[in-house]
Structure formats: structure tokens, C-alpha cells
Structure 1
């Protein structure tokens, strides 16, 4: 008769035991990504025609919205067009197959993100207090919510702004834009994932405050430096025009202010607990 394997006490686990535990969590997270990637691989037409190449179409939701806004305010119709002046082609033998594989894996990571966060929390939770472990559901929900909001922002704002600017940019009428498939998908992937990770800023600040590396006073004092850093990040992930950088910088600045508020709450709770211990 095989004995049922019991969960070891974290205080009694050796370094190798922790590594073994980490290995199983990483394997489960990887398996979830592969399963999600397999689903995306099977949905090739929807993933590529509707999602990946969606921002290439003049009928894309963002372009139509910006076109209506520009007409309403009687501005230049820079987002009112019938076709973007570029083509996408694959110039390597395995280009389309490789794009299919890596796009499916990226989609699998996005789909399985909540489960990946759950595995991360399941690894660190045994070392936390019972009151902190009870916040697992909120941690998974908040991190997933912020990530998905960031992904949508990257897809519906950063990606179309970048594609519209770079796809219509020309140094001469003699040059026609023929973008390689991997370059185009790389732009979409980088915009979406970078935005998703940037939107995790409040969660990151929460943990940095918990371990004492960040305080509300520090965040307020360095707000001007944070603004410069945010503008640099916005310039890196958007086209080199002021309007696009401002559009991206605004939500990140809002997230920074939210981070200050969260940091205040964490510090307030910590001070309250210290007072309770002293009395």
C-alpha cells in the first residue's frame, strides 16, 4: 500500500525541499501556459485574422473612435483612412509556422495568467502568516484584473497608435513599407505584454512597501523623477510623437498615484499593529 504524500512544514523544509516545491509550481504553471497555447494554436484563424491583424484594418475600433472624435472637434482627419499603406509578408521558410507557435505561447501565457499567479502565491503562501494567506483570492484577482486591463490598453491604444504611425511613415515615395511577419507580431506582442506588466505597478509598490523598501513619503518626494521615468517608458513603447506618449503616460501616472495611496494604507496598518503590540 502506497503512503499518501503529506505536505511538509515550511519551517522543516530544507533548501532542496524548497527547490523541489518550486519546480512543481513552475511545472504546473508551464503546463497551464502550454494548454492555453494549444487552445490558441487550434484557433489560428481567429487569433491571426481577428486579433493580430485587427489593428491593421481601417475598421479597427480604435481608428473609428479616433476618427469620430477628430470629426467632432473639427481636427485633422489623421485617423480617418480606408487602408494602411503597408503589407505584411514572411521572408523565411519557417516564418509563418514560427509565428504561429510563438503567438500561441504568448496567448497561452495571457490566458493562463491567473493560474500562473495562483502557483506563485501557492509557493510563497506557506511562509506567510494566516491573515496574509487569507488575502490570496484578492491577490490573484487584483493582479489578473490589472494585467488584463493593461493588455487591453496595449492592444487597443498602444498597438494601433504604433501601427498607424510606423505603417504610414515614409522617407520617400520610392520606398514602400513591406513589414516582415515576425517584426509586425513582435510589435503587437511587445506593446501588449509591456503594457500588461506596467499596469502591475500598484501590486509591486504594495509588496515593496510591505518589506520596507518604499514609503508614501519616498514616492511623493520622487514624483518628479517618476514622471520623467514614465515619459521615457512611454517613449520606448509608443511612436515618437507627443500625443501618443501623453496618451500612454496618463494611465501610468494615475497608477503611480494609486500606488501612493496603497502605500499609505499599508503603512497605516503596520503602525496600527505596532501600537496594538505595545499596549
Structure 2
């Protein structure tokens, strides 16, 4: 039995041929060059080039009309490299913490839509945690509390409006507590019997880079910062932050 091909959008594939051509050429190209090498009709090629230019995916030189890769692709590349760097550096800690605590550990990073799960590490017995790789997490989760506490409100307001309970985030008292203790707890925020605890990861500029979240059955998750498990998690968070140049002030 032949494998069925996944449904695709042909126009995007055609557009990517233009991007791939400019990447391979290593230099700006005229419209006629792009048409000759891609075989796209001139009328359609105009539409692709105009759209890509408006989105800053391509840049058109006003003097000679040549096209080259735009600033938006640079942004995407930097973001992809940065995220991969975070994952590669954090993964060894994620593995060790998961085995040490015998719980699932998550790495979460911020996106335009809110915090998503970028990496999951299970201790050997996977179970339903109410989320998966790429899942967007809500403000009332322990991960959400970290991001709401350490990102500015202008960054988080749309996410809170969409995913917060009745369009609201966490109470001011809870945010202040998380900021002071540098650890967040959530009892069964996504599904019954599964709770979580999260800690922030900061960079050299004192900015929130990501969060580490430990997930498990409620009885296995600590409920306050003084617990031994909490202290182990906090210690790992400090070690990871130090890898990114973070130094606590004061």
C-alpha cells in the first residue's frame, strides 16, 4: 500500500522556489533572471514578488530593480538559531532533572501567541499531561505564571485576553509572589490529577529567555518553595541561567 501524500498548498511551494533560487544564487537577481530560472509566468511572478516585498521577505532595489532576501528572513533566521541554541544548551539539564525527579520536564519559549512547549523529556513512562510539543499554555498554568510575571504587560496582554480565564490573568498577589520567589506552582491547570511547577531562565541582560516546567501527578509535585524538590528545581534554573550569562543583581 502506497503512503498517501499529505495535502499541500501549491502556491506556497511555488513561492518557496523563488526564495530558494535567491538563496542559491548568493546575489540579487532581476525579474527576468528569476522568471528564466523558475519558469513562473511573468504575471504570476509579479504577484509573488510584490507580495514578498510587501512582507519584507524580499527587498527590491529601487535603482536597478533587482531582488534580494529581505529583513524578515533575517529575523526568522535569528529566531530559529536562537531557539535551537536554547534547546541544545538546556536539554542536558532537562534530561537530568527528569530522571532525578521522575517527572516529565518541559522547556517552554515565548512566541507571538504566548508560551509554547518547545521540548518534552519523559523519565521513561510517558503519560497524558494535557499538552504536547507545540501546545500553547494558558496564564493559569505554572508556565503561564512565569511568563506573565517576567514579561511586560504589553507583550502578554493579547495572550491573556485570549487564553486567560474570562480574559484575565493571575492575581497581583500571585504575580508578586512569583517574582519574589522565582518559582510558580499550579494545581491541575489543564487536566485533573496533573499539576506543575515552573522556574524562569534568564539571559545576560536580565531578560526572561524561557521556562522549565516539571509536570506530574499532583501528589508528586511540590506545593511551596521550601520543599526539597522545589529547591532542586530552583538550583537547576540558576545553573541554566548562568549558562546564558545571567548574574543576579545585588
Q: Smaller-chain TM-score range?
A: under 0.3
Structure with bigger RCO (C-alpha 8 Å, 6+ apart): 1
Higher helix share: 1
- Structure with greater strand share of residues: 2
The TM-score with structure 1 as length reference comes to 0.25
